[in-house]
């Protein structure tokens, strides 16, 4: 398990949030971009909790391949799946979208 102290989680979130936001602003707005963003946030939340893909899959009754698909953005999550995962990872649903608004994705909407 990784160091899940509040200070370490805050530092990791700040570092990764900036990186995710920067990568998001380089791409045009599209559905795939959102899936990739949500997947990156999922991976970060899972790692901050110190659990493996296999452990998350078991908690949520998914298989490893499904969780991997979510994390890579290859598989789109339903609202129900996102809610279930956010509950198990003890993060708000906003966690998966917050950098989108500050990172450029929201700015490209018309």
For residue 101, the tally of other CB atoms under 10 A from its CB is 12
Q: Is 76 left (phi over 0), alpha (psi -120 to 50) or beta?
A: beta
The per-residue pLDDT for 42 is: 95
Q: What is the pTM of this model?
A: 0.66
Under the banding of pLDDT at 50, 70 and 90, the label for residue 38 is: very high
The per-residue pLDDT for 103 is: 45
Name the residue with tokens 């899959």.
57
Distance of CA 14 to the CA centre of its chain: 14
Spatial neighbors of 19 by CB under 8 A, at least 6 apart, are none
CATH numbers and ranges of domains, the chain: 6-108 (1.10.260.40)
The per-residue pLDDT for 108 is: 35
The per-residue pLDDT for 1 is: 45
Residue-wise pLDDT for 58-105, tens only, equals: 999 999 999 999 999 999 999 999 999 999 999 999 889 875 544 433
């Amino acid at each position: 398990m990784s160091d899940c102290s509040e200070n370490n989680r805050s530092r990791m979130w700040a570092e990764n949030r900036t990186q995710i936001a920067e990568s998001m602003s380089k791409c045009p707005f599209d559905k795939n971009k959102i899936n990739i963003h949500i997947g990156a946030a999922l991976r970060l939340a899972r790692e901050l909790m110190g659990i493996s893909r296999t452990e998350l899959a078991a908690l949520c009754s998914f298989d490893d391949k499904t969780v991997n698909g979510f994390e890579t953005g290859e598989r789109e999550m339903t609202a129900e799946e996102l809610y279930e995962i956010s509950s198990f990872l003890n993060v708000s649903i906003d966690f998966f979208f917050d950098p989108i608004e500050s990172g450029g994705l929201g700015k490209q909407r018309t």
